Amino acid sequence: MEKLLKDFDVEPKNPSVEAQRRWRSAVTIVKNRRRRFRMVADLAKRSEAEKKRRGIQEKIRVALYVQKAALQFIDAGGPPEYKLSDEIREAGFGIDPEELASIVRGHDIKRLKLHGGVQGIASKVLVSLDEGICTEDPSSKSSISIRQRIYGFNRFTEKPARSFLTFVWEALQDLTLIILMVCAVVSIGVGIGTEGWPKGMYDGLGILVSVFLVVMVTAISDYKQSLQFRDLDREKKKVLVQVTRDGKREKVSIYDLVIGDVVHLSIGDLVPADGLFITGYSLLVDESSLSGESEPVNVYEEKPFLLSGTKVQDGSGKMLVTMVGMRTEWGKLMETLGEGGEDETPLQVKLNGVATIIGKIGLGFAVLTFMVLVVRFLVEKALKHELTSWSSTDALTLVDYFAIAVTIVVVAVPEGLPLAVTLSLAFAMKKLMNDWALVRHLSACETMGSASCICTDKTGTLTTNHMVVDKIWFTGKATDMKGAEGKDILKADTSEKVVAILLQAILLNTSSEVVKDKNGKQSILGTPTESALLEFGLLLGGDFAAHHRDTKTLKVEPFSSVRKKMSVLVARPDGGARAFCKGASEIVLGMCDKIVDKDGNFASMSEEQVKNMTHVINGFAREALRTLCLAFKDVDDTSGNIPDKGYTLITIVGIKDPVRPGVKEAVKTCLAAGITVRMVTGDNIHTAMAIARECGILTEGGIAIDGPDFRGKSLEEKKEIIPRIQVMARSLPLDKHTLVTILRKELNEVVAVTGDGTNDAPALKEADIGLAMGIAGTEVAKESADVIIMNDNFTTIVNVAKWGRAVYINIQKFVQFQLTVNVVALVIDFVSACISGSAPLTAVQLLWVNMIMDTLGALALATEPPKDELMDRRPVGRGTSFITRAMWRNIVGQSIYQLVVLGALDFYGKSLLGLNGSDATAVLDTVIFNTFVFCQVFNEINSRDIEKINVFRGIFSSWIFLLIIVSTVVFQAILVEFLGTFASTVPLSWQLWVLCVLLGSLSLPLGALIKCFPVGQDAPKPQDGHEHRDGYQPLPSGPELA
């Protein structure tokens, strides 16, 4: 089968256009193209959208980079005039929306100055740059609703949701159903002419009713899926932005931003609207998403323009929102982003291949069956010398034969296979969303089931991210900071001058902020590490507002994962400036040559003292504390750069961040599942090792390595050491990217990687599955990820892996079930047509069987929740055959049993059951149909587990499965007992009912017996020549699996 599917192979992430075109052209037999390819990328639309997007980008590029010539041209002709409408005047605003949009869009600095600069624009949109928008009085002229009415909403044009009727119409596009409806109409016409009203219309009406049922069930299933995807899409677009309103800093939804909002920007943020720079430090913006230019742009007072959709690469700042929604260039680009749909997943593609191969076989069987039936019919007429005389009854017989052949195609082409993947993924994604995991790309959910390695961050993922200062080394001694006692000891032993310097270092060199809510309650906004330090500063009696009010900040270097430190330069009251620096202990310690004592004197740092400091840092780290050094330096030059040496060490801080509950168990689960967990952190190696041991990541024989050591090794050395690396400390984003690349491309691992910073984006894109943190993660990291872990918890990552495995195995169950039905339906109809000249299953009956095995079968088997034992087996490797030997064993075994039972009934049923009389044939045909359906019902239960004997385990936790089984049995009883006129059945005695159910149920013990036959394991083709290093053996097969 794998050889036949060679054209149906695509990469799970960013597949090439060639591969996508190749498999599409290989799909030749499709009953309903619109439905089959609904969840598949439209390459033509995507290409069109790409051209449109490039056109918009070119316009923006011209506006940004050819603006001088354009402005000179505009000046020559005079600036365009904008008149204020009465509505704008009445609201109190002093600038037209189009003029406001054109200033930022065209980077028109002259026009901005004509309006009085940023301050002038702020006064014209009725906002204070310090206080932000006033929302406390909703009746005021500048209320949010009035701003939205005049200047627009921060929303982009979206495609209208598809109605239920659209899905009904789509389901009706099935070519075979259309042919059947035509056959049904012809059958009704001919039937009424020969058998009269109403008897002559029953056969045709039965087909029409069956088609209607198939269409409705299909449409309902597809519509529910679309609702699930709509919910997920809505969740993906939720972005919170920090703004100042009513003088207080708060978070609001990106959709609630209005003109005049004062927005706070920091590294990794997406610029949420067009706007103007107010204040900030070293603000560097990546405009490539808009202009296509890769060079980042510095934004400052003289060049204050910020465009929606761009990304903050470095620095921080505040901006005034000047335009939102569709008036921004990003809004126009957003219209093109969704065009063409999402890339199809590897399983969808593979199952399209399976459906195509089986479809070809089914079509061949259908043509053969039709030809055999027609030839037999003609031979019988010739033997009776009636070849020249034809009646309407003969025409009706041929129409019936044709309807049977078409229905065989309906059953034989497993259209539901690729669609079952979508159904299963939609179900899994919805459940994962409830479990704090937002899947952004369909294929990620599927690929996560094959993950063999997880490279995870430490802070916030393995730990709680609730940080507190636990220990502090200050003026020569370490102090435990346990509540107020630690504070009192610290203050008692130290001069006020030194405490003042410490408070300055904490309160001035921070990206966090102390804010008050509407009730006056004080809280801290910022990263957990910053917040812990700031909280410590407040505990020591520091006044955040007073320090910032009395001190002028000259320059800021924000923390980044590359620098691993944050620095600030502030003006001193007596002239000159003071630089403060904090960050990774060994880096900041290396920048210091002096130390402060308890009396506030600065002494040179000896080699012995450096050793002592290093010993203190390592001691803190071994207690699993995150260590930071704080230092300062006085300089005379207030305009120069922040110095990078000659600092005086103030303190070493140890911050406690406890391991999350459940992480140790989750790591244990991963190891049992054959998934290697590696910690990749920017923290000190001793801290990292202590946490890794506590989590169960660092084990005997495992290696912990520093980022610089790793970078210094050759590729061959890295390949040699990586399989044993369990902890990488003091790593740069580049180290994480290198590690992921080697694991994937050299060691053939399926790698999941977590990330939260802007610099993690390359590693998140490179990994098979990029996992961004929902709380600590920047918008840039989230945009680059496949899955967002909304609670930043490692246990959630393990849950995603479990659901990924469930999706894969659920689809395998469904494929096993459907292929068994296909084989039996095709063979029994063909053999019966060849031998007896009639098919035992009518068109209506086959349509009902198709519904059982297609839509209902997919719902029952593809939506089963994951079982815990899924994490007791190794991940499915690259290149492993999807249809395994165990599946073929079950398919062949069940097919043989069903064919033997149905064949015996078809050819010897009357004598075996003692049937005689005028209705003997009708009773036998009903028994065959009923037995066939019950064989499928019990085989569906059998398919709940491919390898284990106990198929009833957990059945009551899968209510969808139970509901579908019960519904199928109930409707089958109604069909046989009460709808015989349409379904060509007759009511059966209770003895025959018992027989049908018994024959069907025998597939359960038979299934258990079949599973006792060992078939070996499907191993992936070795691509690296190495055994899997985790030491896990293939699962045994046989009765011990029960």
The answer to whether residues 793 and 660 touch, using CB atoms and an 8 Å cutoff, is yes
The answer to whether residues 499 and 540 touch, using CB atoms and an 8 Å cutoff, is yes
Q: How would DSSP label each residue in 656-686?
A: E-PBPTTHHHHHHHHHHTT-EEEEE-SS-HH
Q: What is the dihedral sign for C-alpha 321, 326, 332, 337?
A: positive
Is 457 considered catalytic here? Answer: yes
The continuous run of DSSP H or E covering 580 comes out as strand 577-584
d(CA 157, CA 180): 41
**In the beta sheet, which residues pair with residue 583?**
565, 629
Q: How far apart are the first and last CA of the chain?
A: 29
Q: Which two tokens stand for residue 898?
A: 């069903």
Neighbours of 227 (CB within 10 A): 14
Q: Which two tokens stand for residue 850?
A: 């198709």
The answer to whether residues 504 and 580 touch, using CB atoms and an 8 Å cutoff, is yes
Q: CB-side exposure of 97: number of CA atoms within 13 Å?
A: 20
d(CA 616, CA 714): 33
Q: What is the dihedral sign for C-alpha 779, 781, 785, 791?
A: negative
Q: Supply φ then ψ for residue 322, to 5 degrees.
A: -115, -20
- Helices (DSSP H) in 275-328: which residue ranges? 288-291
Preceding amide of 80 cis, omega within 30: no
**In the beta sheet, which residues pair with residue 438?**
788
What's at 150, amino acid-wise? I
Query: What angle, rounded to 10 degrees, do the helices at 175-195 and 392-412 form?
Result: 160
The catalytic position among 96, 400, 457, 683 is 457
The continuous run of DSSP H or E covering 1014 comes out as none
The alpha carbon of residue 836 and the mean position of all alpha carbons in its chain are separated, in whole angstroms, by 54
d(CA 389, CA 197): 25
The length of the chain in residues reads 1042
Preceding amide of 198 cis, omega within 30: yes
Closest CA to 846 of 975, 986, 997, 987: 975
In order of 51, 154, 157, 308, the CA distances from 336 in angstroms are 9, 17, 10, 15
Closest CA to 666 of 789, 819, 774: 789
d(CA 639, CA 788): 42
d(CA 897, CA 875): 33
Quote the Cα angle for 218-1004-966, to 5°: 40
**In the beta sheet, which residues pair with residue 422?**
none
Tell me, what DSSP letter sits at residue 952? T
In order of 578, 589, 618, 643, 843, the CA distances from 638 in angstroms are 9, 24, 36, 11, 89
Q: What is the largest CA-CA distance in the chain?
A: 125
Closest CA to 400 of 569, 217, 184: 184
**In the beta sheet, which residues pair with residue 570?**
553, 578
**Is residue 233 classed as helix, strand or coil in its secondary structure?**
helix
The answer to whether residues 628 and 687 touch, using CB atoms and an 8 Å cutoff, is no
Tell me, what DSSP letter sits at residue 873? S
Residues 6+ apart with CB under 8 A from 168: 215, 216, 219
d(CA 42, CA 45): 5
Q: Which residues form the catalytic set?
A: 457
